[in-house]
Structure 1
Amino acid sequence: MTDGAGSNIRSAYNVLFAIAAIAAIASALLGENARWLHYISKPLATALLLFIVVQTVTPVSKRYQWAVAVGLVFSLCGDIFLMLPQDMFVAGLICFLITHCAYIIALTSNVRLAAVPATFVACTLLALAIVWDLWSSLPAELTLPVTVYALVLALMGAQAISRAQHLATHSAKLAAIGGVLFLASDTLLAYGKFRFTIPFGPFWVLGTYYAAQWFIARSVAKSE
């Protein structure tokens, strides 16, 4: 496949991803009347990002590429669990926990864990502060899973940021943006689910979520 053909395919997938993500957000806002569209568009958006990652010809490294791909596979499973009418929050939480572990594996492929200690301290303290603030609103059976998830998410975000601080490459900066947006998305999701109603919640939660995944998927390519 020529570089031009590969670029055209990636562009097409990016456009399709944007359409699917917008449809997922819009259908979530519309509620029951558009549930069928949500069931199609939400997993489709993540699947398209997976295709983009797998088809990247010049990745940062094979380990980075396939770790991100594994993360997106579990994100896809998590998307499905969280959109079902049954309460499968814990199953979705576990899937996204594995996603963040996979992303950490990718992000440590060329920069050691905690390369910038101050970043890790800041992200950990932020995660603990959010859990502490939500603690009284969490069901007892979810306090441990949510705490573990928050710490692993913070670890992923901190590694993405510190990696960008260490390498300062375009790819590393894209991953860092993705990590920060994932922190924002999951924080919004947690507050919206356990604390208070966020106006137009799906717009903010899914908007930051899909942006985070897109930046992480784009970070796989060595150069764009």
Structure 2
Amino acid sequence: MPSVALLLLAALSGALTILAAPWAWALPPLAWVCKPLTTALLIAWAARRGHGDPMRRPLLLGLALSWVGDVALLWPQQGFLPGLVSFLAAHLAYGVALWRGGARPWWPAIALYGAVALGVLQHLWPGIAPALQGPVVAYVLALAGMAALAAARWWRQRSAGAAGPAWGAAGGALFMLSDATLAVDRFAAPVPMASLWILASYWCAQACIASALPPRAAR
């Protein structure tokens, strides 16, 4: 199947997941099939990229761990902690991929994403159950670190003119946006049309991170 077709199918499956969310009680098979299917299609698309690139294996591992997290979160209560751990591991894998791709600490990005992470945690802290506080802090640190590395990689390689680092940086920023929205909706106050904003930005983030790998033609 052509790579463009995989992306189009992923977009269609993601749209069906978002549309089904308000009526999940009436259409459970649609949401349960389409949500993991969307990430699986993105994995299949990403697997065609970056052959021989040192980023490829850890990045694909991160996508696979994200798929595990998606499945876990089909059970919003029982699956929240396993999903959180899966996505934490995914961000660590993405961090390894970015490091192999040339990312190194860049203090402006660390300061920016550190401030965002601290602000989000401060806002959400009163609503986070004590048993979840440690895992949530670890997750936020892993996410902010991944986003900072993605931004650093773009900054270091911006003069080369390659699109991959810019896509990766956009993916890190979108992941922060998606998870901040999810956290506010869960721990602070309901967000209007939460499924639209969370899932759309989440899958766009995954697609952007996968785009950090060079396409097959660029081998």
Report if aligned partners of 2:151, 2:172 keep a CA contact under 8 Å in 1.
yes
Root-mean-square deviation over aligned CA pairs: 1.6
Q: Which residue of 1 aligns with 2:33?
A: 40
Report if aligned partners of 2:13, 2:37 keep a CA contact under 8 Å in 1.
yes
Report if aligned partners of 1:111, 1:163 keep a CA contact under 8 Å in 2.
yes
Cα pair distance change 1:205/1:112, threshold 3 Å: closer
The answer to whether 1:176 aligns with 2:169 is yes
Q: Which of 40, 44, 48 is 1:51 aligned to?
A: 44
Bigger shift: residues 97-106 or 213-222: 213-222
Matches within 5 A, 1:26-175: 26-56=19-49, 59=50, 61-84=52-75, 86-114=77-105, 116-168=106-158, 169-175=162-168
What SS does the corresponding residue of 1:40 show, helix, strand or coil? helix
- Structure 2-normalised TM-score? 0.93
Report if aligned partners of 1:128, 1:151 keep a CA contact under 8 Å in 2.
no
- The sequence identity of aligned pairs, in percent, is 30
Q: CA deviation at 1:61?
A: 4.8
What SS does the corresponding residue of 2:26 show, helix, strand or coil? helix
C-alpha distance in structure 2 between counterparts of 1:136 and 1:203, whole Å: 26
| Unmatched tracts of structure 1, length 5 or more | 1-7
Q: Which residue of 1 aligns with 2:211?
A: 218
2:68 corresponds to which letter in structure 1?
C
Q: Which residue of 2 aligns with 1:186?
A: 179
C-alpha offsets along residues 80-108 of structure 1, whole Å, 9 cap, x if unaligned?
A: 00012652101000000010001001111
Q: CA deviation at 1:62?
A: 3.0
Report if aligned partners of 2:53, 2:213 keep a CA contact under 8 Å in 1.
no
What SS does the corresponding residue of 2:35 show, helix, strand or coil? helix
Q: How many residue pairs were aligned?
A: 214
Q: CA deviation at 1:29?
A: 2.6
Runs of 4+ displaced beyond 3 Å: none
What SS does the corresponding residue of 1:111 show, helix, strand or coil? coil
C-alpha distance in structure 2 between counterparts of 1:184 and 1:85, whole Å: 20
C-alpha distance in structure 1 between counterparts of 2:76 and 2:100, whole Å: 38
Q: Which residue of 2 aligns with 1:4?
A: none
What SS does the corresponding residue of 2:25 show, helix, strand or coil? helix
Q: CA deviation at 1:35?
A: 1.6
Report if aligned partners of 1:119, 1:161 keep a CA contact under 8 Å in 2.
yes
